[in-house]
Amino acid sequence: MMTQTLVTETPAAWKDGKRGLWMMGVLWPALPLISAALALSTGMGLFWWLTPVVIYGVLPLLDRLVGEDRVNAPESAVAALENDRYYRLATFLFIPVQYICVIGGAWLAVSGGLPALDILGLAVSVGLVSGAGINTAHELGHKRENLERWLARITLAPAMYGHFYVEHNRGHHVRVATPEDPASSRLGESFYAFWPRSVWGSLTSAWHLEKVRLERQGKSVWNWRNDNLQSWAMTLVLFGGLALWLGPIVLPFLIFQGFIGFSLLEVVNYLEHYGLVRQKEASGRYERCKPEHSWNSNHTVTNLMLYHLQRHSDHHANPMRRYQALRHFEQAPQLPSGYAGMIVVAMIPPLWRSLMDKRVLAHYQGDVTRANIHPPVREKILAKYGAAQPQTLEA
C-alpha cells in the first residue's frame, strides 16, 4: 500500500474524472471579488455578504444535491497522478487571487466610502479567504519541495497563523487523536471550549518545537532561523506595508479578517477528529495513526473547493500523499455532510452533539470509554453513554 509498487498496468488507462474540476479551489478566493463586482455595479449592499452565504449556505446544499464521490485512483495510476504538475498549478493559482482579495479588500475598506455594515461583510469575506488559505498552505506545507513549502508560508500570512506551518506537521500530526493534541477535539467538548484550547495550545506547542529544534543546533529560540518568527514576519510585512500605504486605520480590518480566517481553520480542526482516539499499546506508545482516527467526508463539491482536505483519514495515515491521490477508506468514520455544512453545525453545540455523539459511540460499538472524552464532562458523558448497549446508526 505504502511502498513504491511496480507498475503492471498502463497508468494512462485510468483518467481522473475530477482533473479539470480541481480549478474550483481558485473559486473560493474569487468569491469576494465577484461579490465586490456585484455590489459595486448594482449598488446593492447585500452582495457584500455573498461569500459567507455561498460557503455556509450554497455549498452545504450543493453537497446534498451532488452527493458523494468514493472513487479511488488505482495504485498503478498514483505515481503519474502525483507527478502531474497541473495539480500543483491548481494550488499555486489560489495564492495570487488570495492576495488580490486581501489587498483589494483592505483598499476598499479604507478608501471605498462604504457603510460600516458593508465593510463588515467584506471583512468576513476576506477572512474566509484567509481561512481557506490555511487549507491551501496545508496542502503545500506537507511537501518535500522547497518551493511548495515557501508558498505555504506566504499563504498563511494573511490569517496571522504562520506557526501552523510548524505545529501542524511536527505537533498535530505526531499527537493526532490523543488527549495531548490541542487540535484534536474531544467528545463532549463544544467548539467554543475547543477554540481557546486549540489556538493557545497550538501557539505554545509551535514555539516549544522550534525552541527545542534550535537548541539542538546550539542556537537560541530568538534566532532568525526560527520558522515561527520567519512566518510571523511575513504577516508583519504584509500588514505593515498595507498600513504604510492606507494608514493605520486598515489594521482593525486586517486583524479582524485574520481572526475570521484562523477561526475557520479551528472550526475545521474541530470536525476532523472529534472524539476519536488512538489507544495506547503495551509499549507505552500510541497505536499508529490509521484511517479510523480521522473523520472522513466524500462530499464532492466541498472536496473540490478544499483540495480533498475532507479525505482526511487517508491524509493522516499517509500525509505525504498529494491531494489528488487521497483515498476513501470504508473503515474510516464518515461525517454526515461536507465540511461546509458541518462547520455551521459545529457553531451550534447542541445540534453538533445530537448529530455527532451517536456517531462517535457507534464508531466504538457503544463503548464510550474508547473515545477521547473531554475531561471536564467525563462523569456526565460516562453517566449518559456509559451503560449504553452497542448501537447502530439510524439512517
Site for other proteins, rule CB under 8 A? 2-4, 144, 169-170, 173-174, 213-217, 285, 288-289, 316-320
Q: By C-beta, is 52 or 291 nearer to other proteins?
A: 291
Looking from the CA of 316 toward its CB, the CA atoms found within 13 Å total 29
**Nearer Cβ to other proteins, position 85 or 216?**
216
CB nearer to other proteins: give 8 or 217: 217
How many Cα atoms are found within 13 Å in the side-chain-facing hemisphere of 120?
Answer: 4
Of 124 and 317, CB closest to other proteins = 317
> Phi and psi of 180, rounded to 5°?
-80, -15
CB distance 279 to 371 below 8 Å: no
**Shortest CB 291 distance to other proteins, Å:** 12
Q: Give the residue with the Cβ less far from other proteins, 312 or 316.
A: 316
The nearer residue to other proteins, 139 or 357, going by C-beta atoms, is 139
Residue 173: CB minimum distance to other proteins, A = 4
> What is the grid cell recorded at 201?
495550545
Nearest to 114 by CA among 34, 44, 28, 55: 44
CB 230 within 8 A of CB 153: yes
Closest approach of other proteins to the CB of residue 322, in Å = 12
CB 265 within 8 A of CB 158: no
Beta-carbon contacts of residue 154 (< 8 Å; ≥ 6 apart): 95, 234
Which grid coordinates belong to 132?
A: 481557506
Give the SS3 label for residue 176.
Answer: coil
Contact 294, 332 (CB under 8 A): yes
Q: Which is nearer to other proteins, 217 or 389 (CB)?
A: 217
- Contact partners, residue 290, CB within 8 Å, separation at least 6: 278, 317, 331
